[in-house]
Every structure is written in C-alpha cells, then in structure tokens.
Amino acid sequence: MAANFAELDQVERVDLSKRTLPMDDTPELRKAIEEGEIHTLLMTYVHVTGDEEMLDKFAPHIKSPYAYPPESIPAELQQELREKLLHVLVTPGASAGDPSEALMHRMMGVGLAEEVADEFLPLLYDQIGLKPEMPRKERPGRKPADPNFKVLVIGAGMTGLAAGVRLNEAGYDWEIVEKNEEIGGTWWENRYPGVGVDTPSHFYSFSFALNPEWNNYHPQGNDMFAYLKRVTDDFGLRPNIRFNTAVEKLVWDDEAAVWNVTVRKRDGSEEVLRANAVINGHGPVNRYKWPNIPGLESFEGPRLHTATWDTSIDLTGKRVGVIGTGASAAQLIPAVSDTVDQLFVFQRSRHWVMPSPAGEDLVTDGVKFAMRHIPHYLEWYRFRIYWFAADGLYPNVLLDPEWPKDSPSVSAVNEAMRQFAVGHIERTFAERPDLKEKLTPDFPVFSKRIILDRGPYFTTYLKSNVHLEQGGIECITPKGIKMKDGREIELDVLVCATGFDVANMMGNLEIVGRGGKRLRDEWGTEDPRAYFGMLIPGFPNYFHTVGPNSAPNHAAGQNLISERQVNYAIECLDWINAEGKKAIEPSQMAFEAWQDKVDDQMVHMIWSHPRAYSYYNNSKKRNFLSWPWRLIDFWNACSGPRKDDMELS
C-alpha cells in the first residue's frame, strides 16, 4: 500500500520564507492574479502597499457569503485591483512593507464585511501564520527542559505529529509510538473511494506548516496523507517514531513518578517503556463500528467497512449495498455510483447537507502559483476560510430561550441556516418529491454533523441505478438484505459506512493511575469525563488529547484543537519543570467544577434540543464530545494551566 502514496510527495517544494518582491512578470504570475480569489488579492495588495483607498472602494461591495442578495463586486473594480497588484509585485521599490496592526485589523473587517473583535487578533495572527509564536527555546526566562524527562506520545496522526514538532522545539526527550507501519493515523488507514475531509484544505493543516500544494479546496485522503508525511520528514520526526507498535497498558509508578507503558510489537513480543508523561493522541475515529443488525456475519459476499477498506475488491458491475448516509457514505456513494451496476443506499437517519462554496473543488494551477510565490496570499486566504468555517458559525448552536421549543431550529440564525439547507434539497429534487421527503431532516442544523456536498453527492440519488432505501432493515441474509416491509434485496458486496465507537475514548487501552485507580472504572465504555477535555485526577502527567467535550462541533478546527492541546500539555510540563516538581494533575474539586460548568453550558446549546441525537451523545443522551464554547475560548484557555486548579507533586 505504501507505494500508492509515494508518488504524491513528488511535487514542487517551495520555501515560503523566500517569497520576495519584486517578482518576474511572467505568464504564470498573470494567470495567478487572474485566477486568484478576489478578497485575498485585495488583502495581499493592501498588505504590500498600505493603500487604504482600495479598501474604501471595495468595502461597499463586499458581503458575507451568507448574505442575500449575494455579493456583487463590479468587474471594472476587480480589474483595477488585478492591474495594480501586478504592478506592485513586479516593480522594484513599489512595496511599502508590512502594514501596521491597525491597518491589518481594518483589512480583516473590510475583507469579511463584519467587525473582527480585538480578542480574535492573537489567534488570527498565530493561526494564519503572519505572526507565529516564538519558539520555546528562545523565550526569555524559560527554564530549559530537563533532558531526563521523557514524554511518550501515543499515535502518529495529526495530534501526535503536532506533539512531536512542539516537544522537539521545546527540548524534551520524546518518542511517538504508532501501531501502524506509517504515520497519518486515520489518513493512512482510510482508503475507501472518495475519502476526504469536509474542512477546507488550506485551514486543515498546521499553522506552523502552511501548505500551498493542495489539489482540492477540501483535501482528498491521499493528499492529506502526503501533507502529513511531508511534515514528518521536513521536521525530522521519523527517527523518534516507533512503528508497528501498539500501546496496550499504562501503569503509573507512584514512587518513581513515571508511567510504565506496555507495548506490543508486530511480532507479538511485549516491551515496557518508561515515560515521565504521556500525551495520548490516538484519537476517537480509529475504532470503527459494525452495525448491530441480525445476520451481519452471514453475508456470503465481500463485507467491507469504510474505515478498513479492502482495495483488492473490485466493485465494477456489482450490486452494492451501502449502510449509512453519514460523512463517509456521502464521499463513497458518488465515487462508486458510475462503476457499479446497482447501488442500494440504506439510510438509517437523515443528515443536513450543505452545498460546498468551492464548487467543483479543484485548485487551479494559477491559484497554486499564487499560494506558492505571491507574498502573503496563502496567509490571507487561510484567514478568510478560517473565519467563515469557525466562530462565525457559533450563533447557530446557541439556544434562543424565546424560540419555540417544538421548532426544528433553535434561533432565528439557526432557522436561516436551515432554510439555506432546505433550499439545496428543494433545488436538487424539484422533480422528485419522494427523495425530498426522504432526505429532509426534522432536527436542527448543527445538532448533528453536517454533510458537505461538493456537487455530486445529492445528484447521485437522481441516477437510475441508485436507490435510496429508508424503510428499515429487518436482517442481513447470506444473499443480501431483507427489509422490514418484506422485500429482499440481493447484493454482491455489502459496505458498512457506520462510523466509529467514539464514546469509548480509551479504546482497548488499560490505564491505571495513582494508587491503582483504573480509568475504565471512571469512564466505562461511553461516559468519558476530563478536566478541560484532557486531564483526570489520579492520573498524573496524562494528557488525553481530543478528549471529552473538546471537539469543535460548531465549526471546522480539529487542527487548531490539536495544536492548542499540545501547547497546553507542554505549558504544564514547563511549569512542573520550573517548579522542580515531577507531576501535575487537576484537583478533584477543579475536576468536578469543570464538569458542572460544561453541564450548565450544555443546557443552552443546540445539542440539548429534544430532537438532537448523534454520535456526540451517549445512550443517556449526554453530550460527551462537544466543546460548548467558541474556538477562541479554547485557544485562550490553552495558553497554560490555571494554577489554582492544579496539584503538583
């Protein structure tokens, strides 16, 4: 399998720090300016010239992408901008240097057609790469990391790799233990046709490793893997990664103040590693779940799960059944619909589907050139897509206490978004009222994960060989599926796009903390709780990233969450190092107060709506997954530990 990915890394490598002016006036540059995104071109131009007059000209025409009527920037004004930008890029001495913070703040507001509050500026400067954080080793007054303090990281996915980069930068002794033969986590394991990401590509990447090479505005799985592989190699992480090794057990040694970590190698042998701290980055989406349907094991044909796809199975000309219509299914269904003979989609629950603003989703050669070579273009593009995929969406998940309780929305803002999604359904299925009924949910938008339609998903259901079934499955038979209405549908291949066991955040790990305290006794299989989504009393120096109530379910941003949780963990380690201590954990009082705070806030969130139910909830309907505040609140809180809540030893 590795050979299939090798070719993806053979693309131009550009040192973004060497983008300089003036540039050569080439056909490639002219093409880049012609194809570039107009708001980003405006930000780029003002950044290098300080020309506020152009901001004044554009401001009356720029609108939010959710506004109606839609934005209309005069063609002659766009042409004027493109000509002026070309001139300043190719003319020696035309650049005025970097703008002041006041001007940058104004640029943000004009470019977005909305005010950007001061509180967002540190996050934006950091996340869009314009003012990266100072490396820890260079920070004045920081005590150097103890070279004998070892940090073990579980998993070489997005969070684990971020941990490796930052731990290395901070001067700690560290090692990543990865169960697979390669890095990437879910982007190494998931190989089903159409696999990709709903988060925009140019944001779904590290702030310290911006990537101008995306082929799509929402990354395909192969490109996502290639990006993470490049980060691994560019930052020299590979020598510190132990591959083909699964972590099975963590046991805290009270006397030595270390974790004894039992790992199992590919040959079946065991080894016990010792680490002063553990950052668990194994993530919640690598433990796939088969549907609980009678007869599943009896099916005689190939039975696949999207998370463990067998690439040797050829679906061409086959009668294929897909159970599930969530995010994975929405990518798989259009990808295989033209090659199979008949495709039967078994919908267990409806999902809200939003059209992609990126249209056909392909990044043109001209835009790639702009990303690679035009100073500041990539950063300002990342700024724009971050803003409209992040906290700008937060009002959608807040319950309006005056809003009717029996409504399929929770506020006027949320209702407007619902109408937008309903419009997509009505436009697509104007002549198919049967499909319109089957695909229209009765719960609020954002109470469940939204499906991104890049164009071919909804229209796939209009194909004559695609059949959407929602009557309910009675059982699976050796030859196919028997429906509750008595029909039997014969299948050659059965695909289960049925997600992951997210609630079991420990997976198969056994974790034993201080005094023999077992985390399984605390969490069970579906009720995880942690202080700030990461820390648990009695489990010193254990950081469970992407943990309970830390998922940004109102917005894109898992990459931001991963980076900031790693930052928080290292800030904790720096603190105990500075204090000459060995371990950190939250007090029981702080832990309980945090749970109360989360529960109190959750009452005001969309996930408390009576019709809201998804994998965010456990069987008792408690939302164990979602972060109920804004991303900016998470980013700020992760600047370091609240010392009054912690116990050092």
Question: 486 and 422 share a domain?
Answer: yes
Residue 243 counted as domain residue: yes
pLDDT band, residue 169 (cuts 50/70/90): very high
Residue 396 counted as domain residue: no
d(CA 220, CA 214): 9
Residue 591 counted as domain residue: yes
Question: 473 and 324 share a domain?
Answer: yes
Nearest one of 360, 174, 184, 369 to 283, comparing CA atoms: 184
Q: What is the pLDDT of residues 531-571, one digit of tens each?
A: 999 999 999 999 999 999 999 999 888 899 999 999 999 99
pTM, two decimals, is 0.95
d(CA 550, CA 570): 18
- Write down which residue in 474, 496, 518 finishes a domain: 496
> Which pLDDT score, from 0 to 100, does residue 454 have?
81
- Write down which residue in 496, 526, 557 finishes a domain: 496
Residue 140 counted as domain residue: no
Q: How far apart are the first and last CA of the chain?
A: 47
Question: 376 and 450 share a domain?
Answer: no
Question: 185 and 207 share a domain?
Answer: yes
Angle at 557 between CA 646 and CA 133, to 5 degrees: 65
- Write down which residue in 448, 469, 496 finishes a domain: 496
Mean pLDDT score across all residues of the chain: 94
Report strand pairing: 646-648 vs 584-586. antiparallel
Residue 399 counted as domain residue: no
> Which pLDDT score, from 0 to 100, does residue 648 have?
98
Residue 643 counted as domain residue: yes
> Which pLDDT score, from 0 to 100, does residue 340 have?
98
Question: 345 and 384 share a domain?
Answer: no
For tokens 């505040």, what's the residue? 629
Question: 304 and 434 share a domain?
Answer: yes
- The answer for residues whose C-beta is within 8 angstroms of residue 523's C-beta and 6 or more apart is 505, 506, 529
d(CA 318, CA 343): 8
Sign of the CA dihedral 236, 240, 246, 252?
A: negative
Question: 130 and 187 share a domain?
Answer: no
Q: What is the pLDDT of residues 196-207, one digit of tens each?
A: 988 899 999 999
What domain range is 303 assigned to?
A: 296-359+405-496
Q: Does residue 18 surpass a pLDDT of 90?
A: no
121, burial (CB in 10 Å: exposed 0-12, middle 13-18, buried 19+): middle
Question: 551 and 623 share a domain?
Answer: yes
- CA 87 to chain CA mean position, Å: 38
Angle at 369 between CA 234 and CA 132, to 5 degrees: 45
User: How many structural domains is the chain composed of?
Assistant: 3
pLDDT band, residue 4 (cuts 50/70/90): very low
Question: 348 and 437 share a domain?
Answer: yes
How would you list the strands of the sheet with 258-265, edge to edge?
A: 270-275, 258-265, 245-253, 510-512
Question: 64 and 161 share a domain?
Answer: no
Question: 110 and 197 share a domain?
Answer: no
Question: 481 and 414 share a domain?
Answer: yes
- What are residue 330's phi and psi, to 5 degrees? -65, -25
> Which pLDDT score, from 0 to 100, does residue 12 have?
64
Residue with the bigger pLDDT between 276 and 97: it is: 276
Q: Domain with 536 in it: what CATH number? A: 3.50.50.60
Mean pLDDT of 78-107: 95
Residue 235 counted as domain residue: yes
Residue 397 counted as domain residue: no
Question: Which uninterrupted H or E stretch holds 596?
Answer: helix 588-602
